[in-house]
């Protein structure tokens, strides 16, 4: 009997305040959409870091025949200097840092250079002899690049040491900042959701003040009086959460899995719809908790016994 009464009161409240209910649904949808987007973007960053950092190489470039850098004032690196670098890479001192390395010859460097710049003026004037010999080093832990770099920087015959992470970190910085922006917008929208839910439930309670007064007279508990109002906010927020989950799922399915992953061929590190399903329970929990707490706080003045 009590369950039927609570359900009836909840449905009555939702039907009386259709416009406000729709507003709660929409603001919950938008706020949780931002929250979900921020979580998925952070997951995308972690996925890309896991794949790309594992492939990162440290490149040790030996001095070419002509170089304007002060490290190469003595001219092109000699065979003895090249052998010394290779010996250090294979030494026991760096065995815990260096996973493997390869040597890129002048011919290989020239072929790669021509593939990238062959049709440009600089490509037409380049020769194989101008190319530097380099070592491509794969590390056990890319985070310890500095340890390896210090072993070669300033060494005779070494022009420069380049860590490929330096080209990736700006990209991840931009993506992290996008995550912060999405998180900030989510916080603003969550605040708007709290205020709107509180206002909606308060107006609903005020419109049914006579009914709640009668329920007090017959001895209804505070929880029994408040529960229909709380459920109004929870149901509206829950619908908004389900809409945000559906939008995120469709976005990942069509934009990421069926467009971006097929258009971008240099990486396969993309989030999938399973990531949306992973965060879905947390979005639902956030919606229910947000609505329940907001509703209960706003009702304390109007429905207290």
- Is residue 304 in some structural domain? no
Q: Which of 163, 188, 222 is a domain's end point? A: 163
- Is residue 220 in some structural domain? yes
- Is residue 136 in some structural domain? yes
- Is residue 156 in some structural domain? yes
Alpha-helix runs per DSSP H in 153-301 = 165-207, 209-217, 222-251, 261-263, 273-299
Question: Which pair of structure tokens corresponds to residue 293?
Answer: 């707490």
Cβ–Cβ under 8 Å, residues 229 and 204: yes
Position 3 scores a pLDDT of 52
Asked if residue 294 and residue 187 are part of one domain, the reply reads yes
104 DSSP β-pair partners: 134
Q: Does the structure show a pLDDT above 90 at 304?
A: no
Asked if residue 67 and residue 48 are part of one domain, the reply reads no
- Mean pLDDT, residues 142-152: 78
| 158 membership: H or E segment, kind and range | strand 158-163
| 130 membership: H or E segment, kind and range | none
The reply to whether the predicted model has a pTM over 0.75 is no
- Mean pLDDT, residues 21-48: 81
Angle at 167 between CA 161 and CA 169, to 5 degrees: 115
Q: Which of 129, 163, 197 is a domain's end point? A: 163
Report the distance separating Cα 259 and Cα 213, nearest Å.
58
3-state secondary structure 66-96: CCCCHHHCCCCCCHHHHHHHHHHHCCHHHCC
The residue range of the domain holding 264 is 2-52+169-299
- Is residue 185 in some structural domain? yes
Query: What is the secondary structure of 27-81 as a DSSP string?
Result: HHHHHHHHHHHHHHHHHHHHHHHHHHHHH-EEEEEEP-SS--SGGGTT-SPPHHH
- Is residue 201 in some structural domain? yes
Alpha-helix runs per DSSP H in 70-163 = 79-89, 106-117, 121-125, 145-152
Asked if residue 186 and residue 142 are part of one domain, the reply reads no
Position 247 scores a pLDDT of 94
Asked if residue 99 and residue 142 are part of one domain, the reply reads yes
Position 305 scores a pLDDT of 44
- Is residue 47 in some structural domain? yes
Asked if residue 282 and residue 177 are part of one domain, the reply reads yes
Report the distance separating Cα 110 and Cα 103, nearest Å.
14
Asked if residue 270 and residue 191 are part of one domain, the reply reads yes
Asked if residue 295 and residue 180 are part of one domain, the reply reads yes
From residue 47, give the alpha-carbon distance in Å to each of 40, 60, 68, 274: 10, 28, 39, 13
Asked if residue 44 and residue 141 are part of one domain, the reply reads no
Asked if residue 292 and residue 173 are part of one domain, the reply reads yes
Domain count, the chain: 2
Average the pLDDT over each of 166-170, 213-217, 261-265, 282-286 and give the range with the smallest value: 213-217
Q: Which residues contact 4 (CB under 8 A, 6 or more apart)?
A: none
Report the distance separating Cα 159 and Cα 155, nearest Å.
8
The domain that holds 74 is classified in CATH as 3.30.70.3040
Q: Which residues contact 185 (CB under 8 A, 6 or more apart)?
A: 34
Asked if residue 127 and residue 69 are part of one domain, the reply reads yes
Mean pLDDT of the chain: 78
Q: Does the structure show a pLDDT above 80 at 99?
A: yes
Asked if residue 288 and residue 203 are part of one domain, the reply reads yes
- Is residue 33 in some structural domain? yes
Asked if residue 239 and residue 131 are part of one domain, the reply reads no
Q: Please write the tens of the pLDDT for every residue from 70-98.
A: 888 888 899 999 999 999 988 888 888 88
Pairing relation of β-strands 98-104 and 134-139? Answer: antiparallel
Cβ–Cβ under 8 Å, residues 201 and 292: no
Report the distance separating Cα 114 and Cα 131, nearest Å.
11
Q: Please write the tens of the pLDDT for every residue from 257-285.
A: 888 777 766 566 688 888 999 999 999 99
Question: Which pair of structure tokens corresponds to residue 232?
Answer: 């109004």
Q: Which of 139, 163, 187 is a domain's end point? A: 163
**CA-closest candidate to residue 45, choices 163, 179, 183:** 179
Buried b (16+ CB within 10 A) or exposed e, 246-283: ebbbebbeeebeeeebeeeeeeebbbeeebbeebbeeb
Q: Which residues contact 122 (CB under 8 A, 6 or more apart)?
A: none
């Amino acid at each position: 009997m009590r369950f039927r009464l609570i359900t009836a009161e909840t449905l009555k409240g939702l039907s009386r305040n259709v416009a406000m209910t729709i507003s709660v649904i929409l603001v919950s949808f938008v706020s949780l959409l931002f929250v979900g987007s921020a979580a998925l973007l952070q997951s995308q960053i972690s996925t890309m870091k896991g794949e790309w950092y594992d492939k990162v190489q440290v490149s040790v470039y030996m001095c070419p025949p002509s170089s304007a850098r002060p490290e190469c004032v003595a001219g092109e690196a000699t065979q003895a200097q090249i052998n010394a670098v290779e010996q250090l890479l294979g030494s026991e001192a760096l065995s815990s840092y260096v996973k493997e390395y390869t040597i890129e010859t002048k011919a290989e460097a020239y072929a790669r250079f021509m593939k990238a710049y062959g049709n440009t003026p600089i490509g037409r004037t380049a020769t194989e002899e101008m190319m530097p010999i380099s070592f491509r080093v794969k590390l056990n832990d890319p985070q310890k690049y500095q340890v390896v770099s210090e072993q070669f920087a300033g060494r005779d015959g070494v022009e420069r040491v380049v860590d490929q992470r330096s080209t990736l970190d700006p990209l991840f910085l931009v993506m992290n900042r996008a995550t912060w922006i999405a998180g900030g917008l989510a916080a603003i929208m969550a605040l708007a959701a709290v205020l709107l839910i509180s206002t909606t439930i308060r107006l609903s309670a005020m419109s049914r003040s006579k009914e709640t007064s009668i329920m007090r007279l017959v001895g209804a508990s505070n929880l029994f009086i408040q529960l229909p109002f709380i459920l109004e906010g929870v149901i509206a927020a829950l619908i908004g959460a389900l809409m945000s989950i559906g939008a995120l799922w469709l976005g990942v399915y069509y934009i990421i899995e069926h467009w971006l992953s097929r258009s971008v061929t240099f990486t396969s590190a993309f989030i999938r719809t399973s990531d949306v399903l992973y965060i879905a329970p947390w979005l639902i929990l956030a919606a229910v908790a947000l609505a329940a707490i907001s509703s209960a706080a706003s009702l304390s003045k109007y429905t207290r016994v």
